[in-house]
Amino acid sequence: MELPSFIASHLDAIERELDRVTPPETRRPEALHRAMRYTLMAPSKRVRAVLTLLSAEVCGSSERALPAAAAIELVHASSLILDDLPALDNAALRRGRPSNHVAHGESMALMAAFNLFNLAFATIAASYEPPLARRLTSLVAEAVGSQGLVGGEVEDLLATESSISFDALELIHRWKTGSLFVAAAAAGALTAGAGAERVQALSAYAKNLGLAFQIVDDLLDVEGDPAETGKPHLADARKTTFVSFSGVAGARALARELCETATGALDTFGPRADGLRALAGFVASRHM
């Protein structure tokens, strides 16, 4: 599937920013920076970073949003490395390539994940005036913490096929996927100087978009072409997913419904939010 132009037009700037904030592979310790860049710079649609830029645009300008978008991608890349580790998903492939610990060894993968995460905070502190830097630091830390990425991963670890309810599954993914989407959107809005009301509207949009994104991921795992998804068919089949709860048709309907709820939160912005509406359309129809 071709990338829609509203995404493609932002990709160059995002890649350049990630390259700018990350130490080069020629700097010591070279092996660490190689492992960091291996995952960070792998081909990606950069949905979260694009969400940051579009959220900033709709609030006035994306001129100052790039470091925040990079910080979000740094956190995301870090979480991908961790997710794939033997102690977690034990995934040998990621985006069609050997996962980080397969390519660089487990200890180096761990250090790369830790340093990418650290670099997210360093980038925020180095790029924004103090009040905004502090606000973005809190935002990212909350998205990662006990009721964010980490908390969702833990709930996922603790969940077993037999005991998990639909509500529990939704909570896992609101924490594990949704929280970083919300932070991505809110961060973009804040870099454009948005007030509480617009930050809240964009957070509501992103919360529903993130959940839809996860459901489509589950669908791709059942229906997707391994050449496009970059991982073996049914790689997550041992897990309870939205598809195992609602079936393929039900999960598709749920994803569409969530994308509609998401775009509903954009009404206050009028036609300026067409990019974000298109992003929701892209997420809902990804590879399908």
The CA R_g of the chain, rounded to the nearest whole Å, is 18
Which positions ≥6 away from 270 have C-beta within 8 Å? Answer: none
Question: Of 5-13, 143-151, 186-194, 211-219, which segment contacts a second copy by CB under 8 A?
Answer: 143-151
For residue 94, list its beta bridge partners. Answer: 97
CB nearer to a second copy: pick between 71 and 209: 71
* Interactions with a second copy, residue window 76-135 (CB under 8 A): 82, 85, 87-88, 105-108, 110-111, 114-115, 117-119, 121-122, 124-126, 130-131, 133-134
Residues 43-62, interacting with a second copy (CB under 8 A): none
Residues in a beta bridge with 82: none
Q: At what angle do helices 242-264 and 196-223 cross, to 10 degrees?
A: 150
Cβ proximity to a second copy, 73 vs 155, nearer residue: 155
Q: Is 165 in the site for a second copy (CB under 8 A)?
A: no
Q: Which residue has the tokens 């961790």?
A: 82
Q: How large is the greatest C-alpha to C-alpha distance in the chain, in angstroms?
A: 51
| Cβ atoms of 270 and 255 closer than 8 Å | no
Closest C-alpha to 177, from 83, 59, 91, 92: 83
Q: Is 170 in the site for a second copy (CB under 8 A)?
A: no
Contact 36, 112 (CB under 8 A): yes
- Applying CB under 8 A, which of residues 15, 17, 84, 153 lies at the interface with a second copy? 153
Tell whether residue 27 is a contact of a second copy (CB under 8 A).
Answer: yes
What does the alpha-carbon distance between residue 166 and residue 151 come to, in Å, rounded to a whole number?
A: 17
The reply on whether position 20 binds a second copy by CB under 8 A is no
Q: How far is the CB of 34 from a second copy (least distance, A)?
A: 11
Say which amino acid occupies 67: P
Least distance CB 130 / a second copy (angstroms)? 3
- Minimum distance, C-beta of residue 161 to a second copy, in the bound complex (Å): 17
Token representation of residue 250: 């039900």
Binding-site ranges for a second copy (CB under 8 A) = 23, 27-29, 31-33, 82, 85, 87-88, 105-108, 110-111, 114-115, 117-119, 121-122, 124-126, 130-131, 133-134, 137-138, 140-142, 144-146, 150-151, 153-155, 157-158
